[in-house]
Amino acid sequence: MAHRQVNSFIPCMALIDIVGGYELEADIYFSAPVREVVTLAASTTMIVNDLFSAAKEQQPDLSDFDLPSLLVHEQGHSFQDALALSADIHNALMRRYETKERRVLKHASPSLQRFLGGVKAWLAGNYEWHRYSARYHV
């Protein structure tokens, strides 16, 4: 999971304030609590991508390092068990994201409140895109 942050959805979320027409202060954006919230959000979206593309990536030579495939190949889980475990990992990360986000929002500036609202909206939109995109249907 840590290795995949290089190709995660963080770059997309980094633009939330710019697209929204405001600028989140750099010291706030790069603070440890905000980085943790954004990284958790990115991690959940990586797993959403893995779950929605799992059937397609089971085709020969398509799977590289998605979570369900790793659980199958590295830990010997069946494909169905790997999907269920991946969903469980996603849900645990999402609960952690929600807890950390609430904690950060308690003392958040208006721009950070707006940014974190954008992160939450981005998460919902990302899920809907994965859910309906033809890219994820075999």
Does pLDDT of 26 surpass 70?
Answer: yes
Q: Is residue 52 part of a domain?
A: yes
pLDDT at 87: 97
Q: Is residue 73 part of a domain?
A: yes
Does pLDDT of 131 surpass 70?
Answer: yes
Q: Is residue 126 part of a domain?
A: no
pLDDT at 54: 84
Instruction: Find the angle CA(32)-CA(43)-CA(105) to the nearest 5 degrees.
Output: 45
Q: Which 3 state secondary structure label does DSSP give 95?
A: helix
110-132 vs 32-57: helix crossing angle, rounded to 10: 0
pLDDT in tens, 53-88: 887 776 656 556 788 888 988 899 999 999 999 999
pLDDT in tens, 3-18: 566 667 888 899 999 9
pLDDT at 136: 74
pTM: predicted TM-score of the whole model, two decimal places: 0.87
Q: Is residue 132 part of a domain?
A: no
Please give the structure tokens belonging to residue 15: 């633009």
pLDDT at 138: 61
Which residue bears the tokens 């609430």?
A: 102
Does pLDDT of 1 surpass 80?
Answer: no
**Element counts in the chain: helices (H) and strands (E):** 7, 0
Does pLDDT of 2 surpass 70?
Answer: no
pLDDT at 5: 61
Q: Is residue 16 part of a domain?
A: yes
Q: How far apart are CA 121 and CA 124, in angstroms?
A: 5
Q: Is residue 87 part of a domain?
A: yes
Number of structural domains in the chain: 1
Q: Is residue 38 part of a domain?
A: yes
**Chain-wide mean pLDDT for the chain?**
89
Q: Is residue 137 part of a domain?
A: no
Q: Which CATH number belongs to the domain containing residue 96 in this structure?
A: 1.10.600.10
What is the domain range of residue 28? 3-118
Average pLDDT (85-102) is 97
